[in-house]
Amino acid sequence: MTNPAGGSSALAPKVRLPALRRAWALIGAQNISLLLALLLLVLFIGLQNGNFFYASNIATIGTTVAIVGVLAVVQTVVMLLGGLDISVGSQAGLTSVVSAMVFMATGSALAGILAALALGLVLGLLNGVVIIYGRVNAVIATLATFAAYRGAANLISDGRAQGYTGMNHFFVFLARGDMLGIPVLIWILLLVALLVQLMLHYTDIGRNIYAVGGNATAARLAGIPLNRYIIGCYMLVGFVAAIAGVLLTARTGSGQPTSGSQGLELQSITAAALGGVALQGGRGTIVGTILAVILLGVLENGLIILNVNSFWQDIAQGLLLVVAVVIQQRRAGGRGVGLP
C-alpha cells in the first residue's frame, strides 16, 4: 500500500482506495464468484453442445427463469428481513387457478389478473398476521400456509387445470409476446427486479428492511415499526407471487393448482441463498439473486441439452442450496454449539 501524503500524521484518514479495490467492493466478491461460476458453466455446456448458444435457446432460458426470478427477488426481500417464505409456490398456484377461473367467469383478462393480485395481497397478509400476532416462527408459519394454500388451490379447482386462456390476446402476449425483440416475461422479471432494487437501495423503506434484518432490537429502539415492515414484506411477496401465478396461467394456457408451481419455493430460496442473502437477514443484494437465478436457469437448461436424467435436477438444486449456505456460514465465521 502506498501512503498518499508521505510524512503526514498517522491519524490522517485514508482519502481513497485504489480504483481496482473500489470496483471490487462495488460489485462484491460474492457477485464476482457467481459471474465466474456462470462463465465456467456456460463454457462447459457450450463446448459439449453448440446448440446452447442459439438465440432461441437463450430466450428459452430467459422465459423459464422469469417466474422463479420474480419469486426469488421477493424471497430476497423477506430473507433480508430475517424471515423466509416457503409458501410462495402455493401462493402462485392458488392465484394462478383464481386468475383463470375469474377470467372464464367474466371473460376479462384484467378482472382475472386483478382478482389474482388482490388475493395475493390477502395471502401475504395472512402469512404476516400469523407470524406477528401468533408469534409463529416464519418457517413454520409459511410451511403451514404452504400446505394450506395448495390445498385451497386443489379444492377450488377440483385438482384439475382450470379454464383456457390461449385465445385471449393479453394472456398470449404475456406468455409469448416480445418487445424490442426481448420476451415480455423477461421484461416483467427485469421490471420487478428493478423496482425492488430501487426500493431497497434508495428509499427509507429499503434501508429500514436492512436494519430490521441486521438487528431487530436496534431497529425497534430506533423507532422503526417492526410489525408494519414484516407484514408489508409478506404482502409484497403475496403480490409478486400473484404476478407469478398470472404468468404461470399465461404460459400454460390454464390455471394450474400445483403443476408448474411445485418446487418454486426451493428454487427461489436457493437462488437467494446462492446470491448471497444471509439467512439471518440484513445482508444480500438483488443483483446477486438475479445472477444466481440465471446460473440456476443455465444449469437446468444445460442438463436438459446434455440429456442428463431429469431427476438429477432436483439433486443438483438441493446440493447447490447446501453449498451456498455452507459458504455463507464459513464466510460469517460463526462458531457455536448445538443446531445452527
Partner 1 sequence: MLSLDSVAKRFGAVQALRGVTLTARAGEVLALMGENGAGKSTLLRLMSGVHQPDDGTIHVAGVEMRFATPIAARDAGIRVVVQEPEIIPDVSVAENVYAGTLPRRGHFFDRSALRARLEQDLARYGFSGVLRPEQMGRSLSPAQRQLVEILRALIGQARVIAFDEPTSSLSDHEVESLFRLIGQLRAEGIAVIYVSHRMKEIFRIADRILVLRDGATVGERLAAETDEPELVRMMVGRDLSALFRRSERRVGRTVLKLSHVSTEDVQDISFEVRAGEVVALAGLVGAGRTELAHAVIGDTPLLSGQIEVDGRPLRLASPRDAVRAGIALAPEERKQQALLMKRSVRDNICLAILGRLQRFRVVSRSKESRIARHYVQELRIRTPTIEQEVSTLSGGNQQKTVLARWLARDAKLLILDEPTRGVDVGAKADIYAIIDKLAAEGSAILVISSELPEVLGLADRIVVMQGGRVRGELDRHDATEEKILSLAILEDAA
What is the nearest approach in angstroms of partner 1 to the Cβ of residue 14? 5
Q: Are 94 and 242 in contact (CB under 8 A)?
A: no
Does 219 participate in binding partner 1 (rule CB under 8 A)?
yes
User: Where does this chain touch partner 1 (CB under 8 A) — which range of 26-34, 37-45, 219-227, 284-292?
Assistant: 219-227
- CA dist., res. 205 & res. 243, Å (int): 22
| Whether the Cβ atoms of residue 152 and residue 32 lie closer than 8 Å to each other | no
CB 77, CB 233: distance < 8 Å = yes
Q: Provide the residue type at 109 as one letter.
A: A
**Binding map of partner 1 across residues 100-129, x = CB under 8 A, - = no contact:** ------------------------------
The dihedral region occupied by 102, where left means phi > 0, alpha psi between -120 and 50, and beta the remainder, is: alpha
Report, in Å, the least distance between residue 128 CB and partner 1: 17
Candidates 6, 8, 10, 13; binder of partner 1 (CB under 8 A) is 13
Q: How far is the CB of 222 from partner 1 (least distance, A)?
A: 4
Give dist(CA 74, CA 71) in Å, integer: 5
Amino acid at position 216, single letter: A
3-state secondary structure of 315: helix
Return the residues of window 185-214 that contact partner 1 according to CB under 8 A.
Answer: 202-205, 207-208, 210-211, 214
Minimum distance of partner 1 from residue 278's CB (angstroms): 9
Least distance to partner 1, CB of residue 81, Å: 13
CB 335 to partner 1: min, Å: 15
Is residue 338 involved in binding partner 1 (CB under 8 A)? no
Does position 28 interact with partner 1 (CB under 8 A)? The reply is: no
Q: Is 136 exposed, middle or buried (0-12, 13-18, 19+ CB in 10 A)?
A: middle
Nearest distance from residue 237's CB to partner 1, in Å?
Answer: 19
Task: Tell me the C-alpha distance between 238 and 89, whole Å.
Answer: 10
Q: Is residue 333 within the footprint of partner 1 (CB under 8 A)?
A: no
279 near partner 1, judged by CB under 8 A:
no
- State the sign of the Cα–Cα–Cα–Cα dihedral 279, 283, 284, 285: positive
- When binding is defined by CB under 8 A, the residue of 218, 306, 323, 326 that contacts partner 1 is 218
Q: Pattern of binders to partner 1 over 298-327, x per CB under 8 A? A: ------------------------------
Cα dihedral 140, 141, 144, 149 in deg (nearest 10): -150
Number of residues that bind partner 1 (CB under 8 A): 24
- Does residue number 53 form part of the binding site for partner 1 (CB under 8 A)? no
Binder among 46, 151, 220, 303 for partner 1 (CB under 8 A): 220
All residues at 6 or more sequence positions from 4 whose CB lies less than 8 Å from its CB, including other chains: 14, 15, 16
Tell me which residues touch partner 1 (CB under 8 A).
11, 13-14, 202-205, 207-208, 210-211, 214-215, 217-225, 282-283
